[in-house]
């Protein structure tokens, strides 16, 4: 006798008030159903229960179904370095001098704790895929990125970690955080070979993240590029974030940061950069024409008084743009819904009538971010796409009176209480606003203990930090 064929089990998300697909046509389906088959979306429509009578049902009445958010810039370990007085009220470079003293004390527990806090909050605010750029590697401390990859896998988020670097000490970067090109490239190659999965629906893709020219040697930049080309992985970093960076590059190299990157072959389809605040008109076109990705990080840019990314001009030029929460030390949270609302508001403030729409901002947080990460399997809802989605509950008192346009509700009124259910790769990882694969109380205690221990170690060589430890 032949083997008995296993029965296929489908999941039916039933009767959502709205399904916001964010596909090419930005299709919206009212009173819609969505069928999940294992890891992928099988069908979207109405009354699909008749076609799939044995499907497991998730009742979405009173709720909005959207693609899971895609966060394209983060420094998760910074979740343990936030709300501290010694770093308040500073612009980027003075702020960096302060936090780098704390970064000397990073270890694998810090890396793992930061991932639990940062990636956990992202999941709880509807994010299903996240980048991370880990650039602070104290000398002699190994496998920091391994630790955060393990944490990401444990809680169930799709993850794009990047092996960051510092190869040049400066008045900002202490020598304790500098690595040699040989050390960094060997570790990056090890991580790629061990964890990088280029296949469709991959849960982990590794990238390389050399820093901006004032913190990096030419050798490190060029070797990073060679390694990325060898393994067909992306390069991520920071570009044109502050006026200091722009002036430094002009004074030292005789050109702006964007032009310096162009000169050295560091723009193109396989590169994406956070911030991109200080660009002129020609540089906006340059990023679009080269296919270089951009991560808009509004809260961090406001916190550090860096400026506002030219989102309307970049979108009009056809640039690849996504949204990033940036490191929690400069945004003080990893809340994707808060980042979305802030992106809309700061663009209204900065660009007035030119500002992009609420739906454009939602695009940045979903399909736009997927495009920046080079993914064609996430970012919008359609048959054949990954089953990555968030179910938002707008049938609550705080949203009553505002249940008119579902996208406006998410972008303009959304906050963490909106998130009910999050599904990644077909698996429910958030239910009723709580993580399903990890004990939140246990993780909370671990993160707090590890964070306090790190700050206590740093306080021995850092003036003023004791005040934060006494509170």
What residue ranges of the chain have pLDDT lower than 50? 1-5
pLDDT value at residue 391: 98
Distance CA 389, CA 399 (A): 21
Query: Model-level pTM?
Result: 0.96
8 A C-beta contact, residue 408 and residue 361: no
Distance CA 412, CA 136 (A): 35
- Helix extents (H) in 84-143: 92-103, 108-124
Q: Which of 118, 161, 146 is nearest to 330 (CA)?
A: 118
Distance CA 202, CA 196 (A): 9
Distance CA 362, CA 326 (A): 17
pLDDT value at residue 211: 85
pLDDT tens track for 74-86: 999 999 998 888 8
* Bridge pairing between strands 127-134 and 69-71: parallel
pLDDT value at residue 199: 98
Q: What are phi and psi of 138, to 5 degrees?
A: -60, 145
pLDDT value at residue 267: 98
- Tokens 């003293």 locate to 101
pLDDT value at residue 6: 54
pLDDT value at residue 8: 62
First to last CA, the chain: 71
């Amino acid at each position: 006798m032949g083997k008995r064929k296993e029965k296929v089990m489908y999941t039916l998300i039933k009767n959502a008030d709205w399904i916001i697909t964010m596909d090419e046509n930005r299709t919206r389906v009212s009173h819609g159903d969505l069928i999940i088959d294992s890891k992928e979306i099988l069908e979207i429509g109405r009354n699909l229960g008749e076609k799939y009578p044995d499907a497991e049902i998730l009742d979405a009445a009173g709720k909005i179904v959207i693609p899971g958010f895609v966060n394209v810039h983060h420094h998760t370990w910074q979740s343990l370095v936030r709300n501290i007085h010694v770093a308040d009220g500073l612009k980027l470079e003075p702020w960096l001098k302060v936090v780098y003293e704390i970064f000397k004390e990073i270890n694998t527990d810090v890396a793992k704790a930061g991932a639990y806090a940062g990636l956990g909050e992202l999941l709880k605010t509807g994010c299903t895929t996240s980048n991370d750029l880990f650039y602070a590697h104290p000398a002699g401390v190994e496998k920091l990125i391994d630790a955060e990859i393990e944490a990401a896998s444990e809680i169930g988020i799709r993850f794009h970690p990047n092996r960051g670097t510092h190869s040049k000490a400066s008045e900002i970067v202490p020598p304790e955080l500098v690595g040699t090109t040989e050390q960094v490239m060997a570790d990056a190659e090890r991580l790629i070979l061990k964890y990088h999965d280029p296949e469709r629906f991959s849960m982990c893709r590794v990238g390389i993240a050399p820093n901006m020219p004032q913190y990096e040697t030419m050798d490190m930049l060029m070797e990073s590029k060679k390694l990325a080309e060898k393994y067909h992985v992306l390069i991520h970093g920071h570009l044109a974030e502050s006026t200091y960076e722009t002036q430094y590059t002009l004074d030292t190299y005789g050109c702006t940061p964007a032009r310096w990157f162009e000169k050295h072959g560091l723009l193109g389809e396989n590169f994406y950069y956070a911030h991109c605040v200080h660009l002129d008109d020609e540089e906006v076109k340059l990023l679009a024409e080269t296919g270089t990705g951009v991560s808009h990080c509004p809260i961090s840019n406001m916190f550090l008084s860096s400026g506002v990314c030219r989102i309307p001009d970049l979108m009009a030029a056809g640039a690849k743009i996504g949204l990033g929460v940036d490191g929690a030390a400069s945004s003080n949270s990893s809340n994707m819904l808060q980042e979305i609302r802030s992106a809309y508001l700061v663009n209204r403030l900065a660009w007035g009538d030119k500002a992009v729409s609420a739906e454009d901002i939602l695009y940045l947080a979903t399909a736009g971010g997927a495009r920046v990460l080079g993914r064609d399997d996430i970012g919008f809802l359609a048959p054949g796409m990954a089953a990555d989605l968030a179910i938002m509950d707008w049938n609550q008192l705080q949203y009553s009176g505002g249940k008119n346009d579902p996208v406006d509700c998410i972008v303009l009124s959304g906050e963490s209480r909106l998130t009910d259910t999050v599904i990644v790769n077909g698996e429910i990882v958030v239910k009723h606003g709580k993580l399903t694969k990890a004990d939140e109380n246990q993780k909370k205690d671990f993160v707090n203990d590890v964070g306090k221990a790190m700050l206590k170690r740093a306080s021995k060589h850092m003036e003023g930090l004791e005040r934060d430890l006494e509170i």
